[in-house]
């Protein structure tokens, strides 16, 4: 009997005792969030990464406009490799460091920036969202970072300056076959207070952007049976398009053909070093050469007087299978030395990517697609959400690395795990 009683007693000790909860305990658990009535605000609050914004952008934007942002040239190998390069990174954190306070600011081209990235120049931006370049400029000004306006923009130089009068504005130049029209834009940018000129040099001809060709993309979008069907689940985009100022190039006027035809008609395959020297002589501000993809070209444009070189393969939108800028970065830094200013773009989709680029040798970075995904997802608020996401990711990455400021990042903090190792060349 005593043995049986002992077994029952032990079994009782192992049971979970249940009771009815007190009312005050339930009240502490039942905390309901206030409802968010704005669909845009709900959409943006749910976005925790740039990829989340991309998904939201795809749902809200017609195929031709989304594919223009999302796509690249030919088989899109350059873009895929650029993204993979950032994914193939190992960080090396230091521990037992006081990282309660972090400084994300830096200096770019002699002036301060609150964050180590700018909004890159993008074409046809009002096609992505009717707020277009104005939204980008205002969000950038609020965040204390530069905004770059493209020659192919859909908002004028003067309107961008007026939209964000306290912002820092850069202008991106394609050297046209009509040199006088190119320089008219440069003069207008200087008169409007733009402090930096980005001269893009990797576009002797347009890349084969096959998504755009297949979509027959034009400015403004052409209404065909296919586009009408595509528009049905996205009525708000079309309402915005039809009830705001007509969509057109701010610097080019009307164009009757496709975008591919326009680019081939405008870009000049005869541009040389002499053209860059000629532009520099006429531009009063800082000069950045965008589209550098070899060490020799980086040295040459530096010697021609560029204030910074921007390592970029145009977001994979020009030459497919082009060098990956992130892979090229350490070699260019070694060749140009510690005092040269080197910027980086292509494939950047997170704050971790930005930190990796800075640690590997870049002084500054630019974001293009990431900004446009936010714009498509929610206009100016969506751009602000892009910046907010990247800012939070940068800060957290620095803290986890044991780093308190951008200036403390060094190559010791990152290793590039390179999948594509070149075969030895036969130099005979």
pLDDT (0 to 100) of residue 12: 59
Helix, strand, or coil (residue 133): helix
Mean pLDDT of all residues belonging to the chain: 89
Q: What is the pTM of this model?
A: 0.90
- pLDDT tens digits, residue range 228-239? 677 678 878 878
Report the DSSP pairing between strands 414-416 and 89-91: antiparallel
Dist CA 114 CA 144 (whole Å): 5
Give me 69's structure tokens: 């942002």
pLDDT (0 to 100) of residue 225: 64
- Check pLDDT > 50 for residue 428: no
- Check pLDDT > 90 for residue 340: yes
Dist CA 72 CA 79 (whole Å): 7
Indicate if the alpha-carbon torsion angle 217, 221, 227, 230 is positive or negative. Answer: positive
pLDDT (0 to 100) of residue 108: 98
For residue 44, give every residue at least 6 positions away whose Cβ sits within 8 Å of its Cβ, in sequence order, or none: 53, 56, 377, 378, 381, 382, 385
Q: What integer is the mean pLDDT of 345-360? A: 98
Helix H segments across 192-305?
Answer: 210-215, 225-231, 235-243, 259-266, 273-282, 295-303
The reply to whether 169 belongs to the active site is no
Dist CA 126 CA 154 (whole Å): 6
Using alpha carbons, select from 425, 426, 416, 423 the residue that is nearest to residue 91.
416
The rounded radius of gyration (Å) of the Cα atoms in the chain is 26
pLDDT (0 to 100) of residue 1: 46
Q: What integer is the mean pLDDT of 127-150? A: 96
Report the DSSP pairing between strands 111-113 and 106-108: antiparallel
Count other Cβ atoms within 10 Å, centred on residue 189.
Answer: 26
CB-based burial label for 91 (10 Å; 0-12, 13-18, 19+): middle
pLDDT (0 to 100) of residue 235: 79
Give me 199's structure tokens: 């001269």
Given the residues 129, 169, 314, 343, select the one marked as catalytic. Answer: 314
Dist CA 145 CA 109 (whole Å): 12
- pLDDT tens digits, residue range 92-116? 999 999 999 999 999 999 999 999 9
Least confident of 98-102, 108-112, 183-187, 288-292: 183-187
What are phi and psi for residue 188, nearest 5 degrees? Answer: -65, -40
pLDDT (0 to 100) of residue 25: 73
- pLDDT tens digits, residue range 14-68? 677 888 878 777 777 777 677 778 888 889 999 999 999 999 999 999 888 899 9
pLDDT (0 to 100) of residue 220: 63
Q: Which helix (H) or strand (E) holds 118?
A: strand 117-119
């Amino acid at each position: 009997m005593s043995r049986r009683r002992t077994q029952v007693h032990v079994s009782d000790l192992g049971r979970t005792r249940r009771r009815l909860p007190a009312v005050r305990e339930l009240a502490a658990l039942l905390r309901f969030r206030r409802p968010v009535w704005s669909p845009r605000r709900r959409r943006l609050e749910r976005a925790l990464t740039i990829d989340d914004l991309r998904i939201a952008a795809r749902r809200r934007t017609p195929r031709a406009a989304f594919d223009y942002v999302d796509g690249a040239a030919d088989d899109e190998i350059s873009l895929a490799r650029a993204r993979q390069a950032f994914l193939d990174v190992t960080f090396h954190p230091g521990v037992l460091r006081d990282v309660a306070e972090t400084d994300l600011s830096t200096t770019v081209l002699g002036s301060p920036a609150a964050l180590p990235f700018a909004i890159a120049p993008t074409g046809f931006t009002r096609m992505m969202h009717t707020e277009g370049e104005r939204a980008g400029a205002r969000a950038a000004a609020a965040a204390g970072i530069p905004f770059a306006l493209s020659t192919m923009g859909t908002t004028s130089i003067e309107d961008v300056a007026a939209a964000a009068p306290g912002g820092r504005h850069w202008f991106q130049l394609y050297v046209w076959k009509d040199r006088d029209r190119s320089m008219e834009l440069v003069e207008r940018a200087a008169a409007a207070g733009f402090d930096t000129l980005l001269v893009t040099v990797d576009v002797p001809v347009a890349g084969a952007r096959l998504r755009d060709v297949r979509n027959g993309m034009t400015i403004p979008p052409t209404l065909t049976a296919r586009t009408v069907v595509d528009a049905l689940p996205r009525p708000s985009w079309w309402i915005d398009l039809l009830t705001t100022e007509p969509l057109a190039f701010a610097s080019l006027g009307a164009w009757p053909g496709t975008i591919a035809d326009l680019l081939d008609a405008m870009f000049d395959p005869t541009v040389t070093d002499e053209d860059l020297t000629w532009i520099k002589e006429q531009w009063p501000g800082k000069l950045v050469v965008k589209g550098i993809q070899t060490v020799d070209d980086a040295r040459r444009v530096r010697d021609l007087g560029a204030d910074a070189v921007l390592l970029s393969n145009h977001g994979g939108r020009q030459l497919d299978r082009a060098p990956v800028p992130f892979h090229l970065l350490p070699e260019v830094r070694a060749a140009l030395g510690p005092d040269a200013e080197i910027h980086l773009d292509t494939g950047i989709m997170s704050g971790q990517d930005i930190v990796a680029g800075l640690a590997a040798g870049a002084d500054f970075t630019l974001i293009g697609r990431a900004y446009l995904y936010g714009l498509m997802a929610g206009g100016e608020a969506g751009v602000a959400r892009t910046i907010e996401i990247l800012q939070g990711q940068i800060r957290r990455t620095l803290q986890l690395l044991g780093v308190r400021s951008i200036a403390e990042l060094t190559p010791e903090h990152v290793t590039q795990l390179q999948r594509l190792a070149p075969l030895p060349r036969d130099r005979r």
